[in-house]
Chains A and B, each alone.
Chain A
Amino acid sequence: MSKRTKPREPWFAVGKPLSGYQAAIPMALSFVIPILIWCFAAYAPFLWHVDYRITMTSEPSDKEAFPATYVVDDTMEESFFESFQDSIRQDNKILKEQREAGTVEVASARAGRRANQKVLKNFEPVMRANGWFTTEKTEENVSAYFKAYFAATYETWGKLAAGELKPASGTLSRENLAIVKDNWALLSSVSPTYDSGNFLSEPIYRLIPEGKKVVGRPAYLPAPHEVVVRGWQDFRGESELGELNVWEKYASSLRVVISGFLLCVLIGIPLALLAGTFSFFARLFEPFTDFFRYMPAPAFGTVLMAIFGVDQQPKIALVFLGTFPQLILMVANTTRLLEQPMLDAAQTLGARKGQLVWRVVVPGILPSLYNDLRILLGWAWTWLVVAELIGTKSGLTEIIDTQGRRFHFDHVYPIILLIGLTGFLTDQVLANLRDIFFPWATEGKKSPLARLFRWVGSRVQAWRDVDPPVAPVTVEASTEGESHP
């Protein structure tokens, strides 16, 4: 047992920062909790009713209770599915009783044969799941196809009845296997192979429907695993998104957002600097900008299309229009926040007007300006989604919109996540780079990237200093430490 070197720190202390693993745990939880909530909402069996997706269907005689024909992949509620099964069991039970009493009725030989063929057809999912029948049905081969299918099924049933074949687990219930055996006894009494001319017209037993349990979630709530799988397929271009290639659309989105943002920065920052520095320009620019930003940028969508056409330009213009007023006001304000005493000091040191702007104001506000631009980049992404809907839809929003309209939300969420991740990661990288760009502006702990950068820098410095071991080494050492005498 090692001795505790640090006092136990409380998890909840008013106004005190957590350190080390104590900080890491809530940071991890902040992502884990939303995912858990999603998992819970998607998977919790009691939140949503359980449905059955039919894997093998059948036709009950009770047309009043079951008026529709149910096919494979239809879903139905649990209770309905059970009554569906029970109805078939009831039919089989009556048939058995009739058979034992010798009162089996045959309406017509033709109708009887047709009904029996249907039972054979319903067996198809089992044939395919086990690989016992692989021929595909096309428009040309319909009659040949069914002939082949019936022949294969005959052969299979015979082998199943004799115990020579065994179905893979989960593909055929015991109950249905017993029915297959009973049916084979009936069918083989007429002919051991399929012969449409010599086919049993007396009814055989019907197969009990089989199904898989599925959670009946609403369309807007796909399960996490579905979204992951679908996203993986979409991003690899392996899914049915059709013409839409995610990465092409992603590149298009990036082009729009970066063009709009850069344009905004190039035009906006000089104006904002002027406004922040000289009261004259503040009065000139800011009142109108302040008014303009309350007019939502998307409202100008059609105007921008009239000016710039329907291609990418109106989209870039919309990102610009949405971000620009924010940038002017934000950066002008940041500029004004530069401490007046610093300007006073520069003037007493002999700085003239131009020098004040370039040597004091600009370098002084750079770190805050950098942070402003990070926030504004977020704005640009927000406007992007709106911008891509005007004119011809483009970019990632096109996928979101087309898939969303069809309720394919398992395609929609990966794209939204992609946009979110792009913004988040960009911001994280930029935040880390800030410490490298402005080492003087960060107090206390540096970000990991900046520490790595610093470490590499110090290694290079040490390597360069190896040849002449001169005095500056001590100066380097003293600047590294932050302690004061």
Chain B
Amino acid sequence: MNEQIELPSYLEQSPEVAARFQRIQARPEVLKVANMGRVFDSNKGPVQALNDINFSVRRREFVCVIGQSGCGKSTLIRILAGLDQPTSGQVLCDGEPVTGPGKDRGMVFQGYTLFPWLTVKQNVMFGPAMEGRKGQAAESEALQWIEMVGLEKFAESYPSELSGGMKQRVAIARAMANQPRILLMDEPFGALDAQTRAQMQQHLLQIWRAVDATILFITHDLDEAVLLADRILVLGANPSRVQEVIEVPVPRPRTLDQCLSPSFLATKKRLEELIHPQTERKASFKIPRLVAADDDVL
């Protein structure tokens, strides 16, 4: 699919980036979405939320899904998680069709979904406990994940004692403790302030490099998508479908300094064009002038 799409010239990949994509191509597909669509019934008749979605995510790949609000990003990820069912097509995880939620697909939500009655450690141990894994071994394993997100001092704290960023770090550790085949992240940093969000992005990249993780990450923040992703799926609205797949030409490891590199800016510019087409950007509001002519600052 995506390999057939021709890259625009300004998204030219450097030899090392191209080599990296070739390595990824050789890996098995963890998640495959085939001709998937979702229709909702509403008062005004059926609404096509998603239409003919096709893509796949390979092992250890970092894929971002980007699109305007209301384009069905959340519906897509809920279907991938098994919390919602497609009305056409199917989702395959490791070749098996997805029929419901399962521990092979971990998820980090936009809101805070930690269990407030459990401590950080108990939260992280929740997944293993569901399949009966308890005791010393499970506990030390959980502590390892907590250490991975840098919260070992807060292992015995309750979620209400943590800041927003810390809660999301626990949520990541909790999802990873199940060792899912793919980690689904639904705008996990959307509620955080800019400073914390930048820290969390770096932190997530470090975790992703350190462990065997495949990540599908939903965001509406273009910088975030370019900074994190190998490939970016751009969802277009009305009808919702994969509008374009961009292979990000920015070399890894990525840092905040690269936000100003030509390849980064070129990718971001391309995304900008896709998400906010020219016509839309030109549309302006009629704003009445309320300042005197001689008071003009321009």
Are the C-beta atoms of A348 and B106 separated by less than 8 Å?
Answer: yes
Residue from A339, A350, A474, A475 whose CB has the most chain B CB atoms within 10 Å: A350
Nearest CB on B from A236, distance (A): 47
Are the C-beta atoms of A359 and B130 separated by less than 8 Å?
Answer: yes
| Apart from A440-B117, A484-B166, 7 more pairs, CB < 8 Å | A345-B109, A347-B83, A348-B103, A348-B175, A350-B102, A355-B130, A479-B154
The 10 A-B residue pairs with the shortest CB-CB distance in the complex, in nearest-first order: A350-B103, A347-B101, A345-B113, A440-B158, A348-B107, A349-B127, A484-B163, A350-B130, A478-B153, A363-B117
Asked if A344 is at the interface (CB within 8 A of a chain B CB), the reply is: yes
Of chain B, the residue at the smallest CB distance from A348 is B107
Of chain B, the residue at the smallest CB distance from A441 is B116
Residue from A339, A345, A363, A441 whose CB has the most chain B CB atoms within 10 Å: A345
Are the C-beta atoms of A350 and B127 separated by less than 8 Å?
Answer: yes
Interface residues of A in 342-378 (CB under 8 A from B): 342, 344-352, 355, 359-360, 363-364, 366
Which A residues are in CB contact (< 8 Å) with B161?
Answer: 479, 482
Nearest CB on A from B283, distance (A): 35
Asked if B81 is at the interface (CB within 8 A of a chain A CB), the reply is: yes
Q: Could you tell me the distance between the alpha carbons of A388 and B101 in the complex, rounded to whole angstroms?
A: 54
Are the C-beta atoms of B107 and A345 separated by less than 8 Å?
Answer: yes
Which A residues are in CB contact (< 8 Å) with B157?
Answer: 478-479
Interface residues of B in 232-262 (CB under 8 A from A): none
Q: Could you tell me the distance between the alpha carbons of A441 and B171 in the complex, rounded to whole angstroms?
A: 19
Are the C-beta atoms of B156 and A479 separated by less than 8 Å?
Answer: yes
Bitwise interface map of B from 109 to 138 toward A, beta carbon under 8 Å scored 1, else 0:
101010111100000001101110000000
17 CB-based A-B contacts, threshold 8 Å: A342-B115, A344-B78, A345-B113, A347-B100, A348-B107, A349-B174, A351-B130, A355-B130, A359-B129, A363-B115, A364-B116, A438-B117, A439-B158, A440-B158, A475-B156, A478-B154, A479-B156
Q: Could you tell me the distance between the alpha carbons of A348 and B216 in the complex, rounded to whole angstroms?
A: 15
Nearest CB on B from A265, distance (A): 20
Bitwise interface map of B from 68 to 87 toward A, beta carbon under 8 Å scored 1, else 0:
00000000001001110000
Which A residues are in CB contact (< 8 Å) with B171?
Answer: 345
Residue from B78, B156, B161, B166 whose CB has the most chain A CB atoms within 10 Å: B161
Of chain A, the residue at the smallest CB distance from B116 is A440
Are the C-beta atoms of A443 and B160 separated by less than 8 Å?
Answer: yes
Asked if B159 is at the interface (CB within 8 A of a chain A CB), the reply is: yes
Interface, chain B (partner A; CB < 8 A): 78, 81-83, 100-103, 105-107, 109, 111, 113, 115-118, 126-127, 129-131, 153-163, 166, 171, 174-175, 178, 184
Asked if A341 is at the interface (CB within 8 A of a chain B CB), the reply is: yes
Are the C-beta atoms of A475 and B113 separated by less than 8 Å?
Answer: no
Which A residues are in CB contact (< 8 Å) with B100?
Answer: 347
Q: Could you tell me the distance between the alpha carbons of A445 and B115 in the complex, rounded to whole angstroms?
A: 21
Are the C-beta atoms of A342 and B160 separated by less than 8 Å?
Answer: no
Which A residues are in CB contact (< 8 Å) with B109?
Answer: 341, 344-345
Are the C-beta atoms of B115 and A352 separated by less than 8 Å?
Answer: no
Bitwise interface map of A from 312 to 341 toward B, beta carbon under 8 Å scored 1, else 0:
000000000000000000000000000101
The contact of A364 among B107, B111, B115, B129, by CB within 8 Å, is B115
Of chain A, the residue at the smallest CB distance from B152 is A475
Q: Could you tell me the distance between the alpha carbons of A342 and B118 in the complex, rounded to whole angstroms?
A: 13
Interface, chain A (partner B; CB < 8 A): 339, 341-342, 344-352, 355, 359-360, 363-364, 366, 438-441, 443, 474-476, 478-479, 482, 484
Question: Known contacts A341-B109, A440-B116, A441-B116; is A349 also within 8 Å of B154 by CB?
Answer: no
Of chain A, the residue at the smallest CB distance from B120 is A479
Are the C-beta atoms of B81 and A348 separated by less than 8 Å?
Answer: yes
Which A residues are in CB contact (< 8 Å) with B101?
Answer: 344, 347-348, 350
Of chain B, the residue at the smallest CB distance from A347 is B101
Are the C-beta atoms of A349 and B106 separated by less than 8 Å?
Answer: yes
Q: Could you tell me the distance between the alpha carbons of A342 and B109 in the complex, rounded to whole angstroms?
A: 9
Which A residues are in CB contact (< 8 Å) with B155?
Answer: 475
Which B residues are in CB contact (< 8 Å) with A344?
Answer: 78, 81, 83, 101, 107, 109, 113
Nearest CB on B from A476, distance (A): 8
Of chain A, the residue at the smallest CB distance from B165 is A484
Of chain B, the residue at the smallest CB distance from A362 is B117
Q: Could you tell me the distance between the alpha carbons of A165 and B219 in the complex, rounded to whole angstroms?
A: 106
Nearest CB on A from B195, distance (A): 13
Which B residues are in CB contact (< 8 Å) with A441?
Answer: 116-117, 160
Are the C-beta atoms of B159 and A440 separated by less than 8 Å?
Answer: yes
Q: Could you tell me the distance between the alpha carbons of A257 and B144 in the complex, rounded to whole angstroms?
A: 52
Q: Could you tell me the distance between the alpha carbons of A346 and B116 in the complex, rounded to whole angstroms?
A: 13
Which A residues are in CB contact (< 8 Å) with B113?
Answer: 339, 341-342, 344-345
The contact of A348 among B83, B117, B131, B153, by CB within 8 Å, is B83
The contact of A440 among B82, B103, B160, B184, by CB within 8 Å, is B160
Question: Known contacts A347-B83, A360-B115, A363-B115; is A475 also within 8 Å of B153 by CB?
Answer: yes
Which B residues are in CB contact (< 8 Å) with A443?
Answer: 160
Q: Could you tell me the distance between the alpha carbons of A288 and B212 in the complex, rounded to whole angstroms?
A: 54
Are the C-beta atoms of B131 and A350 separated by less than 8 Å?
Answer: yes
Which B residues are in CB contact (< 8 Å) with A359?
Answer: 126, 129-130
Are the C-beta atoms of A484 and B162 separated by less than 8 Å?
Answer: yes
Of chain B, the residue at the smallest CB distance from A355 is B130
Question: Known contacts A341-B111, A349-B126; is A366 also within 8 Å of B163 by CB?
Answer: no
Nearest CB on A from B30, distance (A): 16
Nearest CB on B from A68, distance (A): 76
Q: Could you tell me the distance between the alpha carbons of A479 and B115 in the complex, rounded to whole angstroms?
A: 17
Nearest CB on A from B146, distance (A): 12
Of chain B, the residue at the smallest CB distance from A438 is B117
Which B residues are in CB contact (< 8 Å) with A352?
Answer: 130
Which B residues are in CB contact (< 8 Å) with A350?
Answer: 101-103, 127, 130-131, 178
Which A residues are in CB contact (< 8 Å) with B184?
Answer: 348
Of chain A, the residue at the smallest CB distance from B104 is A350
Are the C-beta atoms of B105 and A348 separated by less than 8 Å?
Answer: yes
Q: Could you tell me the distance between the alpha carbons of A364 and B115 in the complex, rounded to whole angstroms?
A: 7
Of chain B, the residue at the smallest CB distance from A474 is B153
Nearest CB on B from A349, distance (A): 4
Which B residues are in CB contact (< 8 Å) with A438?
Answer: 117
Which A residues are in CB contact (< 8 Å) with B154?
Answer: 478-479
Nearest CB on B from A230, distance (A): 49
Q: Could you tell me the distance between the alpha carbons of A465 and B135 in the complex, rounded to whole angstroms?
A: 23
Are the C-beta atoms of A349 and B162 separated by less than 8 Å?
Answer: no
Which B residues are in CB contact (< 8 Å) with A482?
Answer: 161
Q: Could you tell me the distance between the alpha carbons of A322 and B76 in the complex, rounded to whole angstroms?
A: 48
Which B residues are in CB contact (< 8 Å) with A348?
Answer: 81-83, 101-103, 105-107, 175, 184
